[in-house]
Amino acid sequence: MKWETVIGLEVHTQLATKSKIFSGSSTAFGAAPNTQANAVDIALPGVLPVLNKGAVECAIKFGLAIGATLNRVNVFDRKNYFYPDLPKGYQISQLAKPIVEGGALKIVVDGVEKTVNLTRAHMEEDAGKSLHEDFHGMTGIDLNRAGTPLLEIVSEPEMRSSAEAVAYARALHTLVTWIGICDGNMQEGSFRVDANVSVRPVGQTEFGTRREIKNLNSFRFLQQAIDYEVRWQIETLEDGGRIEQATVLFDPDTGETRMMRSKEDAHDYRYFPDPDLLPVKLDEPWIESVRAALPELPAAMQVRFQNDYGVSAYDATVLTGSRALADYFEATARACGQGKLAANWVMGELSAALNKAELDIAQSPVSATQLGTLIARIQDGTLSGKLAKQVFEGLWEGAGEVDAIIEARGLKQMSDSGELEKIIDEVLAANPKSVEEFRAGKEKAFNALVGQVMKASRGKANPTQVNELLKGKLQ
Amino acid sequence: MSLSPDDVKRIARLARIETSDAEAQATQAQLNTIFDLIATMQAVDTRGIAPMAHAQEVFQRLRDDAVTETDRHAAFQAIAPAVENGLYLVPKVIE
């Protein structure tokens, strides 16, 4: 039987505010335990939450960026459950009236564009951290993270492979960091993914029973976990078994998912509107001022890059992987006036060097202006591609500006045809066998001669010019 | 609608309240009178009236995003039953 995979993602993004969603405690990462947890965060009796305007503004930005409906009046609810890292006994979240509903994101997988619709995004508070190491058989609780603002972003179950799920998660990651509402740091838990996965026979309209994989904190784990889960579900069904709705965890060491809890002990959260918080009202002037301050978004920039710089759809997606990368590319392309060549250099030589040195584009030792100048020197014939790579190395080492490096290292492409002719004559004299073979009709011999000339010129000859001159001399 | 003894037991378990059978029975009767009250309210014609999340037509005041709190964990932890290395210690719960 042929099976189809159905995936929906729930992503928790930590909002990049200075203070917590309902208190004035700091949200800075890595502080000593409980030093950033005030009376509201630890739920002392008699305290009241006061909503952070910055957190709401982040949610508005997101809603605008994905073309969603912003609920002008939205409501906080209590989600009730008992766990020691949730000191109130409930999490403040949004259920019936979330701030954001609808919207969509575009993804590209194997050159095919697809739109993934979003269901909703709602504000909520994060819980604290439980440390189960040995505290005389007890659990240690750090409430620094309790009350950190989150935006939970829920997609429709519209992804059909792990590759699509990863593409969606990446696009979402790019977007939330692009508009500055999340730092995107997955190691620190700022962007956590839950995947709802089910399978069904191809052609069936009803969904299969889903299992939810919790808390995936890297794109690689997301892919591995879904691939394992899909295989497991198909095998279970083909062996005549049934899938029970469940929550599972992914173990990166074994690459397997294992059951955390089944539906039977699923929580009954008994949601109800939080009487401590009034409904939140978004007025038009506020929304419009947030809209006006939004940067150009990745999707719009991709279209513009294709139109203005002639890059492919795939290249445009890669180049808008982050705002810093997009800005770098655009500055380079403007400096040299060569969009396609700029794209090749940014995604090729530069990205490879950055990866090798484990540097971010913002830390690149080669500036966009320098790279643009380098590309302009290829365009005006001063440098061959090969020589340009040597100049790039010089730029990377901080050896100075492009023209100074070309001068100092003698990397200028040979443009004097007299000098080149001299080299060609020498090569022809030294390789009579190749000349004879070429005259006998062997094309390969010609290439060998070109190689010899390039070598004799120490790479400085212009290959096109070599071809022309050589042909002329051999006729 | 009325609650069965099992419903009451389940609600008590969700709220982590230990109940004897006698207590559950007494509570069942009390909760069912609340359901009667809800049934009366549900009989009111509310067509054309927008649902409200709060009794008053007022909206949430917002706070500027600024850190205004200082570290007071020493004072908070002075009244905690068990503390170690700055952590609150609680009976072990692993999900």
CB contact under 8 A, A132 and B92: yes
Confidence at residue A211, expressed as pLDDT on a 0 to 100 scale: 95
Q: How much is the CA Rg of chain A, to the nearest whole Å?
A: 30
Confidence at residue A410, expressed as pLDDT on a 0 to 100 scale: 76
Is A262 near chain B, with CB under 8 Å? no
Is A73 near chain B, with CB under 8 Å? yes
Confidence at residue A336, expressed as pLDDT on a 0 to 100 scale: 92
Give residue B70's identity as a one-letter amino acid code. Answer: T
Yes or no: say if B83 and B89 are a contact pair by the CB < 8 Å rule: yes
The SS3 of residue A449 is: helix
Interface of A with B in 146-175 (CB under 8 A): none
H helical segments located in A337-442: 339-345, 351-357, 368-379, 385-397, 402-409, 417-430, 432-439
- Residue among A25, A132, A260 whose CB faces B69 most closely: A25
Contacts of B72 in chain A (CB under 8 A): 38-39
Round the average pLDDT of chain B to a whole number and report it.
90
- The first and second tokens of residue A264, run together, are 């039977």
* Å between B95 CA and nearest CA of chain A: 7
Is A75 near chain B, with CB under 8 Å? yes
Query: How many residues are given for chain B?
Result: 95
Q: Which structural domains are found in chain A, ordered by start? A: 3-288 (no CATH), 296-409 (no CATH), 417-474 (1.10.10.410)
Q: Which of A77, A133, A139, A260 to mutate to test the interface with B (most CBs of B within 10 A)?
A: A139
CB contact under 8 A, A135 and B87: yes
Confidence at residue A447, expressed as pLDDT on a 0 to 100 scale: 85
- Residue among A84, A273, A281 whose CB faces B90 most closely: A84
CB contact under 8 A, B89 and A139: yes
What is the ipTM score, two decimals? 0.89
pLDDT at B89 over 60: yes
| Selection from A125, A197, A97 nearest residue A155 by Cα | A197
Instruction: Please tell me the distance from the alpha carbon of residue A64 to that of residue A182, in angstroms, as a whole number.
Output: 15
Yes or no: say if A367 and A401 are a contact pair by the CB < 8 Å rule: no
The SS3 of residue A132 is: strand
Please classify residue A382 by burial: count the beta carbons closer than 10 Å to its beta carbon, then call 0-12 exposed, 13-18 middle and 19+ buried: buried
- The first and second tokens of residue B8, run together, are 């009451």
CATH topology of domain B5-42: Histone, subunit A (1.10.20)
CB contact under 8 A, A83 and B76: no
Confidence at residue A442, expressed as pLDDT on a 0 to 100 scale: 83
CB contact under 8 A, A53 and B71: no
CB contact under 8 A, A18 and B67: yes
Parallel/antiparallel/unpaired status of strands B62-63 and A51-52: parallel
Is B4 near chain A, with CB under 8 Å? no
* Å between B63 CA and nearest CA of chain A: 5
Q: Which of B10, B17, B65, B67 to mutate to test the interface with A (most CBs of A within 10 A)?
A: B65
Interface of B with A in 33-92 (CB under 8 A): 53-54, 56, 58-69, 71-73, 76-77, 82, 84-92
CB contact under 8 A, A19 and B66: yes
Residue A308 CB neighbour total at 10 angstroms:
13
- Angle CA A210–A105–A91, to nearest 5: 55
CB contact under 8 A, A143 and B88: yes
N-to-C CA span, chain B: 34
Please classify residue A160 by burial: count the beta carbons closer than 10 Å to its beta carbon, then call 0-12 exposed, 13-18 middle and 19+ buried: middle
Dmax (CA) for chain A in angstroms is 99
Average pLDDT across each block of 10 residues of chain A; the chain has 475 residues. List them in order.
Answer: 96 98 96 97 96 98 98 96 92 97 94 94 96 86 97 98 97 96 95 97 95 95 97 96 93 89 70 95 97 95 94 91 94 93 95 94 94 91 84 91 84 74 85 84 84 81 81 80
CB contact under 8 A, B77 and A34: yes
H helical segments located in A211-350: 219-238, 284-293, 298-309, 313-319, 323-336, 339-345
Yes or no: say if A145 and A190 are a contact pair by the CB < 8 Å rule: no
What DSSP character marks residue A243? P
Instruction: Please tell me the distance from the alpha carbon of residue A156 to that of residue A422, in angstroms, as a whole number.
Output: 69
Minimal Cα distance from B68: which residue of A? A24
Q: Domain coordinates of chain B in residue numbers?
A: 5-42
Whole-model pTM: value is 0.85
Please classify residue A292 by burial: count the beta carbons closer than 10 Å to its beta carbon, then call 0-12 exposed, 13-18 middle and 19+ buried: exposed
CB contact under 8 A, B14 and A80: yes
pLDDT at B95 over 60: no
N-to-C CA span, chain A: 66
Top-confidence residue, A437 or B69? B69
